[in-house]
A and B are shown apart, each in its own frame.
Chain A
Amino acid sequence: MFGQVLATEFMKLHRSKAPWATLAVLAMMPLGIALFMWIVREPGRAAQLGLLGTKANLAGLEAAWPEYFYMLTLIFGIGGMLLLAFIVAYLFGREYSDATAKNMLALPVGRHWFAVAKLLVAAAWWMTLVVIVIVEAMAIGLAMELPGFSMGLAATGIVHVLLAAGISFLLAPVVAWIAVWSRGEVAPIAFSLVMLALGNLFGKTGWAEWFPYSIVPLLVGMVADPVDTLPAGSYAVLAGTFAVGVAATILQLRFADNAQ
């Protein structure tokens, strides 16, 4: 039966504009980085661009592959937290905004399967975006002939991007729970924005390794220099956050009032 639940969750995305919208947003990111790189590489033209040129120079960027991968990791980590929040809020929350949750929850299927299937759809959706945009980013970087490319650097860079994208996903089930608890899409997205701000704040303190929403900014170098490896405690915190999010979503679907 779980196979059918999973299949129907994919079917629900048929003709939806949301996957295309998320792809468009994420696909813009490498183009934005490439624009910065181009401005840094062409200081004469950068000066003609005024504020944008100044900001690019202030960022202290070098137009080279290591910096390019650094920026990509940042985008997949931070952007991922927000974009995944949108994806998960859409998958769980729209059952309430479209008032279809009542149809879904009174079927001869355990409610936990819907939570698991939706999270798997979110994971597939997110990983598809990540893979497409990594390919796009590589193509852009190669087309720009950025210096400093090596297969080893590319492999390490891609692993970092995938790690940032994967860790972002561990925070998604809490967003799912907020969507089910609030019966909509607005609260989970607002929650994610607040947590991103708090994550930044805690990231500048000694608690950064222990606060789940600071760990991704810490990994990708948003709050300090990026770290190569996270402490084991951070992985435990992320795993715990994931487990609590999944359990809370299932318990909410199973035991809370699901009125609309």
Chain B
Amino acid sequence: MPDTAISTRALVKRYRGITAVDALDFDVRRGEIYGFLGRNGAGKTTTIRMLLGLIRPSGGEITVLGRRIRSGEATVFSRIGFLVETATSYPNLTVRENLDIQRRLTGSAPRSVADSIGLLRLGPYANRRAGQLSLGNKQRLALARALLHSPELLLLDEPANGLDPAGIVEIRELLRSLADERGVTVFMSSHILAEVAHLADRIGIVHDGRLIEESSRDELAAKARAFAAGAYTPEERELALLTLDLERYFLARTGEGPKSGDA
């Protein structure tokens, strides 16, 4: 079994003269969490869409789980779970019915619906129509659908969208445990630095469709610290600490995080 879960070579996507992804080369190793960091419009979603065969590259090659991705590719998707940009479901169907559709189309066991509902804590909403869910619960439903068939690879585009701080921590822990305990490879895009910094083993920074940097989390953190030492004012550093403290305080007050002094 190859050690690489995702590999792109000279990947290009052009839309009517605009280059959204430009000669992108990267590899994601099996079992790692790879953070794909970039600003809005950097090419993150376009890349994920190409990895899923939803849009055709203008050039280059994509290999996912050892299989070349071409338009209409279907076989490999039994091993991939994904969430692309907005979390969408059939609004007239309940959470359970939406997941049952996924179960049938991925050939999963009937038990998998209840399992994914439990995993994402969607039990109280199982019989609620997807169109009536909050943004955060829609996101949970999309993640439940992505995880339902126990995929080897998760492609997640902005997985924390719409989640409250407690939800973000919960999903972070879930993804970490999937990677550590089940060896699931996670490729997640985000424009939120903290989200990627907390979770990713390696981080690729994409800008204007190009991969401008790729490092392990620790290497990138060291570079960021060195940069911050010279670039930030004491007030900015104070603000960053305040933000962190506020997040911890909020989680503690809402019963999800460490109590005072634990951290």
Contact = CB atoms under 8 A, between A and B. Distances in A.
Contacts of A258: 54-55
B97 A98 contact: no
Given A107-B77, A111-B72, A257-B56, A99 B88 contact: yes
Interface stretch (B102-110, B191-199, B223-231, B235-243): B102-110
A103 B54 contact: no
B86 A99 contact: yes
A106 B97 contact: no
A150 interface: no
Contacts, number: 82
A224 to B, nearest CB: 43
B83 to A, nearest CB: 9
Which size class do A's interface residues fall under?
Answer: 20 to 34
A103 B88 contact: yes
A128 interface: no
B89 interface: yes
Contacts of A108: 74-78, 105-107
Contacts of A253: 72
Interface centre among A16, A98, A100, A102 (most CB of B within 10 A): A102
A247 B80 CA distance: 28
Contacts of A7: 104
B53 A12 contact: no
Interface in A92-130: 98-100, 102-103, 105-111
29 contacts: A4-B107, A5-B105, A8-B104, A11-B93, A11-B101, A12-B101, A16-B92, A98-B88, A98-B90, A99-B88, A100-B89, A102-B84, A106-B52, A106-B53, A106-B54, A106-B84, A107-B77, A107-B105, A108-B74, A108-B78, A108-B106, A109-B74, A110-B72, A110-B74, A253-B72, A254-B72, A258-B55, A259-B54, A259-B55
Given A11-B93, A98-B88, A108-B75, 15 more contacts: A4-B107, A99-B88, A102-B84, A102-B88, A103-B102, A105-B53, A105-B54, A106-B82, A108-B106, A108-B107, A110-B72, A255-B71, A257-B54, A258-B54, A259-B55
